[in-house]
Amino acid sequence: MKYDLVGYHLGSLEAQQQAEVEAALVDDPQLRQQLEMLIERLRPLEACRFVEPPAGLAQRASDAVGETAEPVTLRDRMFSSGGRSWSDRSRWSMIDSLFAVGLVLVLALLLFPAVLNSRYMAKIRSCQDNLRQIGSAMQSYSDSNHGYFPVIQGGGKMSMAGAYAPILAAGGYIDGNQLVYCPAVQNEIGWETVVPLTEDWIAEASRVELDHIVSRLSGNYGYNPGYVRDGRYQPHRNLQRGYFPVVADLPGRVGSQRVSSNHGGLGQNVLFEDGSVRFLRDAQTMINDMLYLSERGRMELGRNPDDSVIVEGHVRVPPVVFVGQ
């Protein structure tokens, strides 16, 4: 079966088609390789894919066409006494029509990229607003918890990175709305809310219910829950580092850098420890730290306090230990 990888990469497919390609990429290594090759070949065009046209370009194009066109109207041609035949008058009428159509097409080509860019940038800004609110919630949490970001209690059914969102919701730091869903991602079942998870509810949940929860636990974002030292999990302290990522768009499924597919594979929004949010084209920070990979080059929790790794919600977290306390 053939899949529209170009449409998938550009995010222009219907929600059902997008989901079908996602599922096929999981099961088909050759298809993932084809997508990765496509992304690499299109990468040189990314810089000009969403750009504003030069100021006044539409007006200058219209003026240029007007200067070169013959200043004779259709009415002059129809009622002139030049002795021309009806076929001549019809021929000029068609030329006038083609000129009008061509002018409309030129204007459409000039304006369409601007419309696309406006929508694209609006979704990026909405995503950044979500992350800033999550950042404010995490700041409040750390202020109330001895400087630590949310601590995931290891060993239980929900001892995984995606528990970040329910922990914040349970503490009242976020109100359980759409904050954890990126506005740029199509969601065929509509917006969902983050429900605080209690031990009793988890204990009574069936395996199917838990699998459903885990698959949607962290929404469209990944989290940096901490690092592992000597086989024990240690949560991060809030040190207000402007280069240290704590939340970002989910990592992608293909590519050496795992660039997120949330924004068409063109980059990802990243929330840093100091509360700032930036859109990064590549999946690495300003100090060349890989966003989704540990210092060992793996999709896993960090290996030390300075190893920042954004992981998917299903990544398991070992039992917690507070180093130095």
Q: What is the pLDDT of residues 213-257, one digit of tens each?
A: 766 667 889 999 999 888 788 889 999 999 999 999 999 888 788
**Where do runs of H (alpha helix) occur along the chain?**
5-10, 15-27, 29-42, 46-49, 57-68, 74-79, 86-144, 164-170, 199-204, 207-216
Give the pTM.
Answer: 0.64
Report d(CA 93, CA 295) in Å as an integer. 70
DSSP string, 201-213: HHHH--HHHHHHH
53-70, pLDDT tens digit by residue?
Answer: 555 656 666 666 566 555
234-244, pLDDT tens digit by residue?
Answer: 889 999 999 99
What contacts 34, CB < 8 A, 6 or more positions away?
A: 5
Report d(CA 90, CA 312) in Å as an integer. 66
149-158, pLDDT tens digit by residue?
Answer: 988 876 677 7
Report d(CA 144, CA 161) in Å as an integer. 20
Q: Parse the chain into domains and list their residue ranges.
A: 5-49, 57-118, 130-280
